[in-house]
Amino acid sequence: MKKHVVVIGGGHGQSTILRGIKDIPNIDLSAIVTVADDGGSTGRIRSLYQIPAMGDIRNVLVALSESESFMKDLMNYRFEGEGDLDIVGHNLGNLILLALTQTRGSFMDAILTLSKVLKVKGRIIPSSLDILTLFARMDDDTIVKGEANIPSFNHHIKKIFYEGEVSATKEAVEAIMEADLIIYGIGSVYTSIIPNIIIPGITKALNDTKALRVYFANCMTQNNETFDYDLNDHVKALEDHGAKVDLVVKHSDFIPFYIQSRYLKENSIEVMDKGDVKQELLEAELLDFSQNLVRHDPQKIAAVVRELLKR
C-alpha cells in the first residue's frame, strides 16, 4: 500500500528533502510550495505578468526530475549581460514556466505540463494561486513588506502575515487531508515554511489531518531571521503561526569547530536543544560536511523518513 507524504516549504531545504525521498518505494509524494517570493527573476516576472512566484516551484521541479543533473544546469541557467535588456538576470526555467502559463492557460497547467516533460516523481502544488505579498511585524512593531526584504532587518520577527484574503489551492488542502506523513521542510522558517502555513485553508487542514506532522529542524540559525533561536524557538514559530507539530527531527552530528567558525562570521550558529521541546524528539545523523559547509544529506533524510513511514 502506498504512503502519502507531503513536504511543505520552499527554497533549497525543501528540494534537499525531496531529492532524498523521491525514490522511496511505494511513496505517493506531494510538494506544497510557497509562491510568496518577490525577489530576483521571479519577482520581476511576477510583477510584470501578474502570475504567482515560480522560483521555488522551479527548484522543486529540478529536485524531483528524473534526470536531475542535466535539468539542474538547464532550468537554473541565468542569462547574463549588461544593460537593461529584458532577458538579463532571468532563469531559463522561470521563462519556460511563464511561456507555458501563457500557452496552456494557467499556472497549474504549466506546472503539470513541465512535470510530465521532466518525468517528475511526485506532484508539485503551489500553496496558492494568488499574487501574494508577505509582511512581517518585528518586535519593535516595524512592518516589513516583501519576502525578499524580511531577512535584511536585524529585529526579531513577531508575526508573518498577508494583507487581504488569501486562498489555498484545493490540491494543497486535499493532499494534506489524504497524507500519512507531513514534513515541514528544512530552510527559512519565516520566509519558506510559514508562508504556506498561514494560508487559512492550509492552516485548517494541518489542524484537521490525521497525518503525523514532522518538523525537520534547521541545524544552523539564519542571520537576522533566527540568529539566537534554539530548537524550541523554531518549533514555537511554526506553532504560533498555526502549524501543528507532533515530532521534531534534529541532527545528532558533531559540527567541526572550523566549520562553526566560518558560519559565526556570518552571524550563524548551531541550533541547540535546551531540553524544552514538548514534542517527541528524534535525533539522527543528517549532515554532510564534504564541501566544508553544513548541509543536510538527502539520503540520510530518506533513511529517517523510511523509519517514520513504518509507524
Over the stretch 209-223, which tens digit does the pLDDT of each residue have? 999 999 999 999 998
Q: Are 285 and 300 in contact (CB under 8 A)?
A: yes
Q: What is the pLDDT of residues 295-311, one digit of tens each?
A: 999 999 999 999 999 98
Exposure pattern of 201-219 as b/e (b: 16+ CB <10 Å)? bbbebbeebebbbbbbbbb
Give the start-end residues of each E strand in the chain: 3-9, 27-33, 123-126, 134-138, 143-145, 157-162, 181-184, 212-216, 247-251, 280-284, 287-288, 295-296
Q: Model confidence at 72, in pLDDT bands (50, 70, 90)?
A: low
How many other CB atoms are found less than 10 A from the CB of residue 227? 13
pLDDT at 264: 95
Q: Model confidence at 88, in pLDDT bands (50, 70, 90)?
A: low
pLDDT at 83: 54
DSSP 19-70: HHHTTSTTEEEEEEE-----SHHHHHHHHHH-----HHHHHHHHHHSTTHHH
Give the start-end residues of each E strand in 139-222: 143-145, 157-162, 181-184, 212-216
Q: How many whole angstroms separate alpha carbon 140 and alpha carbon 137?
A: 8
Q: Looking at the predicted structure, is the pLDDT value of residue 227 above 80?
A: yes
Q: Give the predicted TM-score (pTM) of the model.
A: 0.93
For 300, the grid coordinates are 540520510
CA distances in angstroms from 146 to 133, 195, 203, 222, listed in the order given: 6, 11, 21, 18
Average pLDDT over residues 179-198: 96
The residues pairing with 138 across neighbouring beta strands, listed in sequence order, are 157
- Single-letter code of the amino acid located at 107: F
Output the CA angle 199-205-207, nearest 5 degrees.
105
For 113, the grid coordinates are 505540463
Q: Looking at the predicted structure, is the pLDDT value of residue 81 above 80?
A: no
Q: What is the pLDDT of residues 240-296, one digit of tens each?
A: 999 999 999 999 999 999 999 999 999 999 999 999 999 999 999 999 999 999 999
Q: How many whole angstroms separate alpha carbon 62 and alpha carbon 189?
A: 22
pLDDT at 134: 94
Residues 6+ apart with CB under 8 A from 138: 144, 153, 155, 156, 157, 158
The residues pairing with 215 across neighbouring beta strands, listed in sequence order, are 184, 248
Q: What would the CATH number be for the domain defined by 3-34+126-308? A: 3.40.50.10680
Domain boundaries, the chain: 3-34+126-308
DSSP 69-99: HHHHHHHT-B---SSS-TTTT-BHHHHHHHH
Average pLDDT over residues 169-178: 98
For helices 298-308 and 11-21, the axis angle rounded to 10 degrees is 70
Output the CA angle 140-248-273, nearest 5 degrees.
65
> Which carries the bigger pLDDT value, residue 253 or residue 40?
253
